[in-house]
Amino acid sequence: MAVRKELMVMARRSNSKNVKNSSATKKSISSQQGNKKSSKKKTTAKVHYGRLAVVILIPIALILGMIYGAISIYQAVIQHQRVAKIEEKANRIGEAQSEIAAASTTPNISPSTFAAYQELAKTQLGAFQNQVRSMIHEKLSDSDMEAVNSLSAPEDLYLNILKNLERYPEEYISFLNEDPRRLNFVSAFVNQEPYIAAPGALTMSLESLPALVQYDLQWAYQPFSGNVIGLVGSGPTALSAAASHLQNNSGITPYLAAQAIDSAGGAYSQGVAEPQVLVSAGPSIGLSIEPIQVDSSLIASICEQQQIILGLVPSGNLSAKPQYILISYSDQPDCVNVYFPAFPADSKAYSVEEITPLLSEAYVLNNAYTIEQ
């Protein structure tokens, strides 16, 4: 009996354990199934977000790639243009340096003149035209600009000088440095043969004293006293203007006056004909030339009588060379009209007291006889 009870107790205990084990097993199975579902959900979410990321990121990556490629191409183009400009500038620098080196070896150009024109040569690298025009404008008054603007492409004329600098005597370069209005004349030095062949003709009005310019290309390169009228011809130009006015004869050109002076002896000092030679040459062009005292009262009195005075200005007062000028009547009180054949832009009315101290000699010009046209 006792044995039976013990067996029944053991059986109950065994059933209880089985129930517990069965329940644990069910819970384990249920837990495993829950984990599988959770894992499946997570996997599905990952796939969804992964696809979404691919759809969004790929176009963005493509766009960024296109932008980067465009920037790279633009930078390459800009770099190519920069290199091309640098190469062009280098070539022009090389050309300019070659011209500068060639010009520096010529014996006709002084170091100071070469240094000044070296700057002009460098402007070939850039704004040559603007720099040349600016240089000219700085030296001219507003009233002079019309004459300068009438020049054709002055920067080309300067370039012509620079390219032929080794052919220029120092005298021509100094002549241009004194006054940029002489650019046409100096630039024409390399092609002066056509000008030497033609004596030119006086064509302006003779109602008043003709405004003749010694470096006018009509006669500038005509020979005179071992040089040319353009450089040393203030004397014949002044005599020509006076004779043409007094005789109303447009045929008395600076060229004709220069021939008369050369025939009379042609002696000249410091770049101009000697006064006594001009006195001797006067009758050849119908002029009577008589010396007078350099006195302001006398000069004013003679001009009031509508007579013309030839004055000699020594070197240093106007330029490095002596210059002949013409003095005539002015309707402005205590003034006379002064004409400068070598510096026409400076021609105007001056007070008698202002102009007289500049003179070393003075001569009255009168009509001796009329030359037939």
pLDDT tens digits along 99-124: 555 544 444 555 565 555 556 555 44
Task: Answer yes or no: is pLDDT of 132 > 50.
Answer: no
Work out the number of other CB atoms within 10 angstroms of the CB of residue 229: 30
pLDDT tens digits along 251-293: 899 999 999 999 988 666 666 788 889 999 999 999 999 999 9
Task: Answer yes or no: is pLDDT of 78 > 60.
Answer: yes
Provide the pLDDT confidence category of residue 135 given band limits of 50, 70 and 90.
Answer: very low
Provide the pLDDT confidence category of residue 85 given band limits of 50, 70 and 90.
Answer: low
Please report the pLDDT score of residue 126 as a whole number. Answer: 40
CA 255 → CA 142, 173, 217, 227, 259, distances in Å? 31, 23, 11, 13, 6
In whole angstroms, give the CA distance from residue 70 to residue 327. Answer: 76
DSSP string, 186-207: HHGGGG-HHHHT------S--S
Phi, then psi, of 208 in degrees rounded to 5: -130, 180
Q: Of 321, 306, 314, 313, whose CA–CA distance to 364 is shortest?
A: 306
Query: What contacts 24+ positions apart, CB below 8 Å, involve 97-103?
Result: 99/162, 99/163, 99/165, 102/165, 102/166, 103/162, 103/165, 103/166
Average pLDDT rounded to a whole number, residues 327-352: 92
CA 176 → CA 34, 113, 137, 185, 338, distances in Å? 107, 11, 15, 9, 22
Cα 147 from chain centroid? Answer: 17
Average pLDDT rounded to a whole number, residues 166-190: 84
Task: Answer yes or no: is pLDDT of 61 > 80.
Answer: no
Task: Answer yes or no: is pLDDT of 234 > 90.
Answer: yes
Whether the model pTM is above 0.75? no
- Tell me the sheet residues that pair with 273: 268
Provide the pLDDT confidence category of residue 27 given band limits of 50, 70 and 90.
Answer: low
Task: Answer yes or no: is pLDDT of 184 > 90.
Answer: no
Average pLDDT rounded to a whole number, residues 173-193: 84
Residue scoring higher pLDDT (252 or 84): 252
In whole angstroms, give the CA distance from residue 295 to residue 362. Answer: 9
In whole angstroms, give the CA distance from residue 341 to residue 344. Answer: 6
In whole angstroms, give the CA distance from residue 118 to residue 133. Answer: 17
Task: Answer yes or no: is pLDDT of 87 > 60.
Answer: no
Work out the number of other CB atoms within 10 angstroms of the CB of residue 355: 21
Percent of the chain at pLDDT > 90 equals 30
Task: Answer yes or no: is pLDDT of 20 > 80.
Answer: no
Q: Of 287, 272, 292, 168, whose CA–CA distance to 230 is shortest?
A: 272
Please report the pLDDT score of residue 139 as a whole number. Answer: 47
Query: Could you give the residue ranges of the DSSP H alpha helices within the chain?
Result: 2-104, 111-122, 128-139, 145-149, 154-163, 170-178, 183-187, 193-196, 229-232, 234-247, 254-263, 275-281, 296-304, 352-355
Please report the pLDDT score of residue 77 as a whole number. Answer: 75
Please report the pLDDT score of residue 99 as a whole number. Answer: 54
Kindly tell me the burial class for residue 314, based on how many C-beta atoms sit within 10 Å of its own C-beta (0-12, 13-18, 19 or more).
middle
Average pLDDT rounded to a whole number, residues 228-233: 92
Contact between 93 and 122 under an 8 Å Cβ cutoff? The reply is no
**Average pLDDT across the chain, whole number:** 74
Average pLDDT rounded to a whole number, residues 240-252: 89
Percent of the chain at pLDDT > 70 equals 60
